[in-house]
Amino acid sequence: MSPRYEPSQEYLAAVESFFGKSAELQKNLSRTRGKRSRRRIKDSLSSLALQREAHLAVIMYRELGSAGDAWRAQRAAHQTWSEQVARLRDAHAQECARVASVNDARSRQYEGAMKHWSRQTGLKRRIVWNLRHRLDQDSGKLPWTLLPKSQMGNTGRRLELDRLRVRYPGETIDESRLHFARSLGPIDEYEGRDGWDGYHAFLYSRGRRKGAVSVLLESPIEGNAAYVLGQNWEKLSRLSKADLIASFPHKMIRVVHDGDWRVRIREAVQKIEPQAIVKTGT
C-alpha cells in the first residue's frame, strides 16, 4: 500500500496562504479590462500555481522523510488509477458499439417493415380507388356525399376535422380554408371520397341566373390546392385531380393557397361559367 500522508500545520498554512494570494489575483482579474494587464495577471496565477505545487511538494516530501519513496508511491497510485480508467473507457466503448449495432439493426428492420407496409397499403388503396372510380363512372354516381344540416354545425365540423387528423396523421390541417369557404354562403356542402377524400364541395348560387351555381372544391389539408368548377362540374369531379388538370384546364380554375388566395377564390367563384343545379345521386 502507498504510505498515507497526514498534512501538518505547516502544509495547511502554506495551502491557505497560496489560496489567499490566488483569490486576490482572481479578484483583480475580474476588475481589470486591459488585455495586457489581464495577461499579466493570468501569468501571475499560473506562476503562483507552479510555486504552490512545488512548495507543497517540498513540504510533503520532507515530512514523509523520503522524497523518492513519496514520488514512487504517487506514481504507483497514478498508474493504478490510469489503468482502471482505461479499462472503464474500453468497456464503455464496447457497450456503446454494441448498443449502436443493435439500434442500427432495429432501425433497418423497422424501415424495411414500413416500406413493405407502405407498398402493400398503397397498392390496396390504388386497387380499391380504381374499382370504385370505375363503378362510379359506370353508374353515374358522384364521389361526393351531401352533408345533412346536422353535420354542418360546429360539432359536426369538429368531428370531420378530427377524422382527417386521424386519417392523415402526418399532414397539417388548416381549418381557415373551410371557414372561408363557408363564409361565402354556400347553398349546399358535400363531403368528398375516394380520389377527393379530404375535400369539400361548396355550391354557391350565382344570383342573377336563376338556379345557376359555381362549385368550390376545397381541402383543409395543406399541400392541396382549391378548384373552382362551373359547367359540367358533376362530370369533371368524377375525374382525378391529375386528369382534371391535364385534360380540362379551361373548364376549371386552380387556386394555390399562397398570398391573396382568399381574394382569388372569391373572384374565381364569380368568374367561372356557372351551371344549372341538377339533382344527382349520392
Q: Where do the structural domains in the chain lie, given as residue ranges? A: 141-276
Q: What is the pTM of this model?
A: 0.48
- The residues with which 205 forms a beta bridge, in sequence order, are 213
Q: What is the pLDDT of residues 35-93, one digit of tens each?
A: 888 888 888 888 878 887 877 777 777 766 655 566 677 788 888 888 888 898 898 88
Q: Would you say 108 and 247 are in contact if contact means Cβ atoms under 8 Å apart?
A: no
Q: DSSP assignment of 218-274, as one string?
A: E-SBTTPPEEEEBTBHHHHTTS-HHHHHHH-GGGEEEE-SSSSHHHHHHHHHHHSPP
Q: What is the pLDDT of residues 110-154, one digit of tens each?
A: 888 888 777 777 666 666 555 555 545 544 566 788 776 655 566
